[in-house]
Amino acid sequence: MAQFINLERRTNVDEIFDKLYSDIVTLKLMPGTKISEAEIASQFSVSRQPVRDAFARLGNMDLLLIRPQKATVVRKFSANGIAHARFIRTAIEVEVLRNAIVKWPETDTTRIRDIMDEQAKAIPTKDTNRFHELDLEFHNALCVAAGFETAFEIISEMKTRVDRLGRLSLEQPTEMNVLLADHRRIIAALDDNDTAALDHAIRKHLGRLDAFIGRIQQEHSEYFE
Q: Is the pLDDT of residue 189 over 80?
A: yes
Q: Which CATH class is domain 79-223?
A: mainly alpha
Dihedral sign (CA 106, 134, 187, 96): negative
**Residues 150-165 pLDDT 10s:** 999 999 988 888 888 8
Q: What is the pLDDT of residue 2?
A: 37
Q: What is the pTM of this model?
A: 0.83
pLDDT per residue over 112-135, tens digit each? 999 999 999 999 999 988 998 999
Q: What's the confidence (pLDDT) of residue 6?
A: 44
pLDDT band at 24 (very low <50, low <70, confident <90, very high): very high
- All CATH 1.20.120.530 domain ranges in the chain, comma separated: 79-223
pLDDT for position 7: 44
pLDDT at 137: 97
Predicted local distance difference test score (pLDDT) of residue 10: 62
Q: Which fold has domain 2-74?
A: Arc Repressor Mutant, subunit A (1.10.10)
Domain with CATH 1.10.10.10 in the chain: 2-74
Residue 56's pLDDT band (boundaries 50, 70, 90)? very high
Q: Any idea of the CA torsion for 127, 175, 109, 191, to the nearest 10 degrees?
A: 160
- DSSP secondary structure letters along the chain: -HHHHHHHHHHHHHHHHHHHHHHHHTTSS-TT-EE-HHHHHHHHT--HHHHHHHHHHHHHTTSEE--TTS-EEEPPB-HHHHHHHHHHHHHHHHHHHHHHHHHGGGS--HHHHHHHHHHHHHTTTT-HHHHHHHHHHHHHHHHHHHT-TTHHHHHHHHHHTTHHHHHHHHTSTTHHHHHHHHHHHHHHHHHTT-HHHHHHHHHHHHTTHHHHHHHHHHH-GGGB-
Are residues 34 and 71 in contact, defined by beta-carbon separation less than 8 angstroms?
yes
Task: Give one DSSP letter per residue of 46-92, joined into a string.
Answer: --HHHHHHHHHHHHHTTSEE--TTS-EEEPPB-HHHHHHHHHHHHHH
- If one compares 2 and 205, the residue with the highest pLDDT of the two is 205
Q: Which of 29-33, 102-106, 128-132 is most confident?
A: 102-106
